[in-house]
Structure 1
Amino acid sequence: MSFSPARRHTVLSMAAGGFFGRALIVDVDARSASGTPFELDERVLRAYLGGVGLGTWLMHRLAPARVDPLAPEAPLAFVFSSLVGTPLTTSAKFAVVAKSPLTGLLTDALASSQFAIAGKLTGHDAIVIRGRAAELSVLLIDGDGARLEPAPELAGLPASEAETQARERFGRGWRTAAIGPAGERQVRYATISHDGRHAGRGGLGAVLGAKNIKAVLVRSATKVAVADQAGVLKAAKDLRQRSFGPATAKYRELGTLANLLAFNAVSTLPTRNFTAATFEGAPKLAAEELHEMRGVARNSCASCSIGCEHIYSRKGGGSQRMEYENVFALGPLCGVSDPDDVFAASARCDELGLDTISAGGTIAWAMECVERGLIDEPWLKFGDGQALLKALDAIGERSPGLGELLAQGSRQAAARVGHGSIDFAPQVKGLELPGYEPRSLQSMALGLAVNARGADHNRSGAYEADLSGDVNRFDGGAAHVAAAIGTEDRAAVMDSMILCKFLRGVFEDPFTEWATLLSLVTGWDMDAAELRAAASRIVRAKRAFNLREGATAADDTLPARMLETPLQLASGRTATLTADRLQTMINGYYVARGFDEAGRVSTADLPDLFLDA
C-alpha cells in the first residue's frame, strides 16, 4: 500500500542558525515505526558541529555498551550538519554512523546527494533507527513523522533499482538511501547508497539490513534559516570561485584516478596483497590512458562545483564511474590489469552493495591464501579478472564455503583459516587498508594504525605530508606524529561541518576560514581556537567510544607484513618500517593527544566530551 500524505512546510524552532536542535529516534518493530523527538542541547551542537562529530556523541548516548552491531537495539544514525541546505559548495553531504559489524568499533561514512538536503529538511539534525521490522520494508520520514511500509518486492535488487521502484511507488518528492543484496544478507562490508554514491566503509549496509530495512525515504517538509543570509551568499560565491582554482584542477581534469600512475612511480601503489608497491599493469588502468580511450562524461555531486566524477565507457555498452580506490583495490591489489575486468568488478560491487576497498582487500588476501595452500580454491588466482568477478558474486550471495568466509572480511576470515594468515591480512582493527603503502609513507602508517575507524585514508590523510616532501616518508619520527595529528584534526572538522575533502587545498587558513563559515550560518561567534578544540574533542570522543567497546592499545598497529618484511622499491632500495619505529610514533601520538601510555582518554577530559549533556 502506498502512502502519500499532505506535505507540511513550516519553519521549526532552532537551537542556532542551520540547526533544528533535535534528532528523530525511530523505533521499528513488527509492523510499524514510531518516531520520538530527541532534543539536542545547543552546547552539544556547538561542541560537535554536526555530521560525524554529532553522530559520535549520539552513539555514546544511544548505543548500549558492547552491543552486537547487528542486534535490533544497535542504533544507526543518519546525521546532517548546519551547512546542509546552504549554497556553500560540496555541503550536500550526510554522515551515517553506527557500530561496525566489520570492526566491532565506531564507524562512519559520508555520501553526497540530495538525500542529505531532504533528510535535514524533515526538520531534524539526525535520524536514528533502532529495532527490526518483521519483513523487508522501507522507512518513510517527513514532516508527519516516521512510518514503515512492507516492500518484499524490493528483495534482492541493487540499491539503484530499489531507489527507482521506491520513487515510482511513493512519488518523486522522496529521496532514497538503499542497500543492495549484500546488505540484505548482512555481508560485513555492505554499503548504503543513493544516486550512485555510497556510504561505503565499515558495513553500514549490513546494519540497515539487520533491521530488515531495504531503504530509507525522506521528504522535505520545512525550511531552515541561517543567521546571516547575505554573508552566507557572499561566502558561497567566493568559495565557488576558489573551487575552480589550481587546488582542485587534478580532480576536475582526471579525477582521483590521476593518483594511480603517480603512486606507482614513487612505489606506494599496493600490489598483489601488499607484496609489492609497483604494478606493471598500471599504465593500462591509468586515468591518462582511460581518459583518451574511454572517457565519456564528467559529473558532480549535489551542490558541488568541482565535478571530480569521471565516467568511462564499458566493453559491450554502458558506462562506469571510476575512482582511484576502486581501481586500486580491484586492479593492482588483486593483480588484475585488464580495465574491462576492473570496470566490471566495480560495477558488480555497486550492484551488490559492497565496499570496493574491503572487497578487493579480502579477495587479495584469499588469493594469497590459495597460493600458500591454505584455501582450496585453485581457480582464485592473482591477475585473473574472471576469478575476481566469481569471488564477488560468491560474497554477495554469501554462498556456502568461500562466499560465507569472505563475507566476514579479511580479519575474521583469517581467524577461521589460521596458519598465520592474519599476518598478511590487509587490515587494521578489521577494516581493510586503502591504496597507500605504509612502508613508503610512514606518516600515513601512523595515521592508519591509530585511527578510530581502522585503516582509513579519509579520516587520517597523513599521506599528504609524506607526498609533499615536508617529512622523510621513509623514516618516521616526531614530525610524522605532528603531521598525522594535523590531518586527523582537519578531517574531524570537515567531516562534521560537512565539506568535501577535495576543498581542503583552497583554504589558506583552514580553521579560521571554517570558523567564519560556521559563524555566518549559526550565529555563533566562533574562532579557530574553538574549532581546533572541537576537532580534538571529536577525535577523543571516537576513541572513548572504542575503549568502551573493548578496544585497547594493542589494536593500534599494522599487519605483521608491514613491520617484518622490507619493501622493495622501483629505485632498487628498500623501505623498512619496524615495529619499534611505529610504536615510538604511537607513543608520541598518545602524549600529544593527552592519552595515557595505554592509549586511554584521560578521565579529566570526560566533562569536555559532554557525554552527560
Structure 2
Amino acid sequence: MTSPPGGYFGQALLVDVSEGDVRRVPLPDGVLREYLGGAGLGTWLSTELGPAGIDPLDPAAPLSFVFSPLVGTPLTTSAKFAVVAKSPLTGLLTDALASSHFAISGKFTGHDAIVITGRAAGPTHVLISEEGVELVDATPELGLSATAAEEAVREKYGRRWRAASIGVAGERQVRYATMSHDGRHAGRGGLGAVLGAKNVKCVAVQGSRRSELADRAAVLAAAKDLRNRSFGPATAKYRELGTLSNLLAFNAINTLPTRNFQSSTFAEAPALSAEDLAESRSVARSTCASCSIGCEHIYASKSGKKARVEYENVFALGPMCGVSDPDQVLEASARCDELGLDTISAGGTIAWAMECVDRGLLDVPWLRFGDGAALLRVLDEIGERTGIGKLLAQGSRSAAEVVGQGSSAFAPHVKGLEMPGYEPRTMQSMALGLAVNARGADHNRSGAYEADLAGGLDRVHGTDEHVRAAIETEDRAAVMDSLILCKFLRGVFTEPFEEWAGLLGPITGWDITGTELRETAQRIVLAKRAFNLREGWTAADDWLPERFLDDSVELDSGRTATLPAERLRAMIDTYYAERGLDQHGRPQLVQTDSGTEPTP
C-alpha cells in the first residue's frame, strides 16, 4: 500500500449512528488530486455515498465534515473545514465552510473527512478520536444553545475535545438551522437540521495525528510569506471595521437591499454602520484559529447581549426588515446564534412575511417592517416552531407556496436559498452569479460582486464581459473553498491559481500547476451541477425572482436600474456556453476511475 500524498491520510471515517457501526473508506490519490478537499471532496463524497433522490432529512442521507491538505499546516487561515450535505432548504447540494479548532482536531483524528449517517435511537453526542468512536447520551444538553452544549461536552469529557453542535432550531429541524463551534457557524442551507434529523446534538473530536508534509522547509517559508502579506492593505478593512464597513458603501451606490428588496437604499443606515457601532458598542476583536487577519468584531447591545457582527447579519436583520435600532438588530443577531438560525435566511424569510402582512396576505398584524420587537418575537417562534414560526421555519420558497396569492414573485430566494445583501438590479454580474450558482443565492460560492465593484464594468447593464468575470470569481471560489483558504485573503494573490499551486505543491509533493488548478476548479463547479441534476434540478432553477425582472430600483439623479428577463436569459445562455454546458445547462458526464464525472 502506497503512502498518501503529503497533507492527507487517504481515508474517510464513516459513522452510522443508528447502530454505532464504523468503517474507514480509502480515498484514492486521483480523487484527492481532482477534488482537493473541503467543498470539492465533499461534493465527491456526497455523490458517491448519497442515494439519488433521498430526502435530506432521511437517516441514510450523509453529512460530511471535510478537511483539506492545508489543515494543520502553519499557513494562515488554513484551520477551516466544510460541512457538506443535501440541503433540506433547497433539496440540492449545499456546503458551508467555517474556521475553528474543530478543523484541526478533526483532521488530527487521522481522517480527511468524517461522514455521519443514520439516526440515533435517542439524543446523542458522537465522540471521535484516534482511538475510536463513542456514542454517548445527549439528553441533558437538549434545549441548550450550540455554545452551551459545546461547553458542556468539554466539561464532561475533557478540554481537548472540540465540538460542532446544534441549537434548538437544529433539534426542531428548522430548514435553515446552523451548526456552530468555537462561536463560528456553518450557516447556510440547513445543515443543523440534517444533524438534528440524525438525533445528534454534537460531534466532538480530538486527536494528535499529523499528516506528513512533502517539503516542510518550503511550507514554512510559504507560510511566513503569506502571513506577512496578510497584514497588508488587502485585508486592512477586515481588521479595522470588519465586513460591516460595506453597509454605508453599499447604501451609497444603491445596492443595499431594504424592506424585502423593495428599495436599494436605507435612510437609517448610518445608525447601523460599522463606524457608529465601533465607537459606541464595540466590545472586542477576535480571530479564528490559525488566522493572522483578525476580522471578528464583537459588539454589545445596551442590554449587554454580545454578538459577532458582520455585514450579512446586520443587512438581513436590519435594512432587509426595515429595522434601524442598533440594539434590536444586535439582539436579533445574538438570538439567531442562540437558537442556531442562519441570519440571511431568517431575515429574508421574515422580510417576505412582513411584506405579505402589508399586502393583506398573512393575518399576523404585529409582524411589520421596522418593528424590532416583532423581529425578536418571530425569531423565537421560528426557533421553537410555534405560531407563525411553523410556516416561516420552512424558508421563503416553501412558505410562499403555502400562502400563494402571488407571494412567490417577491420571495427572496434562488433555488430555495434566501438572497444575501446585494441588489442584483444594480450589480448585474452578481445577478448572474446568484442565478446560476449550485448552492442557490449565495455570495461566497460566486463572488461576482467583485467584478461589479472593481469599476471596469457597467454594473447596471450586464453583458458577456460580466459573464466571463462571474465565471472567473466562481472558479477562484471553488479552489479556495476546497484548499481551504479564507476568502479575505483573495486580495493578496496577484496570480491566484499559480500561487495556490505554489502552496499546495510543497505540502503534497505534487508537481502541480496553476493550469491544473483551473481545470480542478471547473471540475468542482460542474460536479456540483451534476449532483443537482441527479437530484431534480432543471434549467428553470437558474433564475431570479420575478421582482428583479419586473420592477426597477431608483439610482441617483432620477435614474433607475432594471434587469430585463431577456438580458438575464442572454447572460445565462452565455454562461452555459462558456462552461461547456448544453443549452439546458447540463454538463456532459463521463465514466472515470473516480466514478461518473462531468467533463471539465
The alignment status of 1:592 with 2:581, answered yes or no, reads: no
Superposition deviation, residue 570 in structure 1: 3.7
The alignment status of 1:230 with 2:230, answered yes or no, reads: no
The alignment status of 1:22 with 2:11, answered yes or no, reads: yes
Supply the distance in 2 between the matched residues of 1:187 and 1:571 (Cα, whole angstroms): 43
Q: Secondary structure at the match of 2:425?
A: helix
Supply the distance in 1 between the matched residues of 2:66 and 2:283 (Cα, whole angstroms): 34
Supply the distance in 1 between the matched residues of 2:142 and 2:292 (Cα, whole angstroms): 36
Q: Secondary structure at the match of 2:116?
A: strand
Which of 422, 437, 457 is matched with 1:471 structurally? 457
The TM-score, its normalising length taken from structure 2, stands at 0.98
Task: Tell me, yes or no, if the aligned pair for 2:11 and 2:25 is still in contact at 8 Å.
Answer: yes
Supply the distance in 2 between the matched residues of 1:269 and 1:308 (Cα, whole angstroms): 21
Task: Tell me, yes or no, if the aligned pair for 2:66 and 2:82 is still in contact at 8 Å.
Answer: yes
Superposition deviation, residue 42 in structure 1: 0.2
1:7 paired residue number: none
Superposition deviation, residue 608 in structure 1: 8.8
Distance 1:117 1:571, change over 3 A: farther
Which residue identity is paired with 2:433? G
Superposition deviation, residue 610 in structure 1: 4.2
Supply the distance in 2 between the matched residues of 1:317 and 1:587 (Cα, whole angstroms): 51
Superposition deviation, residue 151 in structure 1: 1.1
The alignment status of 1:219 with 2:177, answered yes or no, reads: no
Task: Tell me, yes or no, if the aligned pair for 1:80 and 1:125 is still in contact at 8 Å.
Answer: yes
Supply the distance in 2 between the matched residues of 1:221 and 1:127 (Cα, whole angstroms): 16
CA distances 1:414-434 after superposition (whole Å, capped 9, x unpaired): 000000100000000000000
Supply the distance in 2 between the matched residues of 1:82 and 1:603 (Cα, whole angstroms): 27
Q: Secondary structure at the match of 1:223?
A: coil
- Percentage of matched positions with identical amino acids: 69
Task: Tell me, yes or no, if the aligned pair for 1:138 and 1:150 is still in contact at 8 Å.
Answer: yes
Q: List aligned pairs for 1:182-221, cutoff 5 A.
A: 182-221=169-208
Task: Tell me, yes or no, if the aligned pair for 1:44 and 1:610 is still in contact at 8 Å.
Answer: no
CA distances 1:140-195 after superposition (whole Å, capped 9, x unpaired): 11112222111101111000000011001111111000000000000000000001
1:8 paired residue number: none
Supply the distance in 1 between the matched residues of 2:398 and 2:66 (Cα, whole angstroms): 29
CA distances 1:432-488 after superposition (whole Å, capped 9, x unpaired): 000000000000000000000000000001000001111110110100100110000
The alignment status of 1:497 with 2:483, answered yes or no, reads: yes
Which residue identity is paired with 1:47? E
CA distances 1:53-89 after superposition (whole Å, capped 9, x unpaired): 0000001100000000000000000000000000000
Supply the distance in 1 between the matched residues of 2:593 and 2:295 (Cα, whole angstroms): 38
Task: Tell me, yes or no, if the aligned pair for 1:537 and 1:608 is still in contact at 8 Å.
Answer: no
Supply the distance in 2 between the matched residues of 1:146 and 1:462 (Cα, whole angstroms): 42
Superposition deviation, residue 294 in structure 1: 1.6
The alignment status of 1:103 with 2:87, answered yes or no, reads: no
1:322 paired residue number: 309
Supply the distance in 2 between the matched residues of 1:597 and 1:564 (Cα, whole angstroms): 24
Supply the distance in 1 between the matched residues of 2:491 and 2:270 (Cα, whole angstroms): 27
Superposition deviation, residue 380 in structure 1: 0.2
Task: Tell me, yes or no, if the aligned pair for 1:278 and 1:570 is still in contact at 8 Å.
Answer: no
2:509 paired residue number: 523
Task: Tell me, yes or no, if the aligned pair for 2:145 and 2:166 is still in contact at 8 Å.
Answer: yes
1:434 paired residue number: 420
Which of 393, 397, 421 is matched with 1:407 structurally? 393
The alignment status of 1:289 with 2:276, answered yes or no, reads: yes
Q: Secondary structure at the match of 1:378?
A: coil
Q: Secondary structure at the match of 1:312?
A: strand
Superposition deviation, residue 13 in structure 1: 7.8
Which of 433, 449, 458 is matched with 2:444 structurally? 458
Q: Secondary structure at the match of 1:455?
A: coil
CA distances 1:359-410 after superposition (whole Å, capped 9, x unpaired): 00000000000001111000000000000001100000001x4111000000
2:26 paired residue number: 39
1:243 paired residue number: 230
Supply the distance in 2 between the matched residues of 1:346 and 1:612 (Cα, whole angstroms): 40
Query: Aligned-residue CA RMSD in angstroms?
Result: 1.3
CA distances 1:223-244 after superposition (whole Å, capped 9, x unpaired): 2111110001000000000000
The alignment status of 1:481 with 2:467, answered yes or no, reads: yes
Query: Which deviates the most, 316-325 or 364-373?
Result: 316-325
1:85 paired residue number: 72
Distance 1:170 1:113, change over 3 A: same
Supply the distance in 2 between the matched residues of 1:199 and 1:603 (Cα, whole angstroms): 30
Q: List aligned pairs for 1:249-398, cutoff 5 A.
A: 249-398=236-385
The TM-score, its normalising length taken from structure 1, stands at 0.96
Which of 547, 555, 559 is matched with 2:541 structurally? 555
Q: Secondary structure at the match of 2:228?
A: helix
Q: Secondary structure at the match of 2:5?
A: coil
Supply the distance in 2 between the matched residues of 1:14 and 1:215 (Cα, whole angstroms): 32
2:140 paired residue number: 153
The alignment status of 1:138 with 2:125, answered yes or no, reads: yes
Which of 507, 532, 542 is matched with 2:493 structurally? 507
Supply the distance in 1 between the matched residues of 2:390 and 2:277 (Cα, whole angstroms): 35
1:5 paired residue number: none
Q: How many residues align?
A: 598
1:71 paired residue number: 58
Which residue identity is paired with 1:327? V
Supply the distance in 1 between the matched residues of 2:268 and 2:411 (Cα, whole angstroms): 23
The alignment status of 1:579 with 2:565, answered yes or no, reads: yes
Which residue identity is paired with 2:448? A
Supply the distance in 1 between the matched residues of 2:397 and 2:3 (Cα, whole angstroms): 44
Task: Tell me, yes or no, if the aligned pair for 1:74 and 1:99 is still in contact at 8 Å.
Answer: yes
Supply the distance in 2 between the matched residues of 1:467 and 1:536 (Cα, whole angstroms): 24
Supply the distance in 2 between the matched residues of 1:601 and 1:395 (Cα, whole angstroms): 38
CA distances 1:200-224 after superposition (whole Å, capped 9, x unpaired): 0000000000000000000114121
Distance 1:38 1:491, change over 3 A: same
Which residue identity is paired with 2:581? F
Which residue identity is paired with 1:110? L
Task: Tell me, yes or no, if the aligned pair for 2:17 and 2:119 is still in contact at 8 Å.
Answer: yes
Supply the distance in 1 between the matched residues of 2:162 and 2:556 (Cα, whole angstroms): 48
Q: Secondary structure at the match of 2:558?
A: coil
Which residue identity is paired with 1:352? L
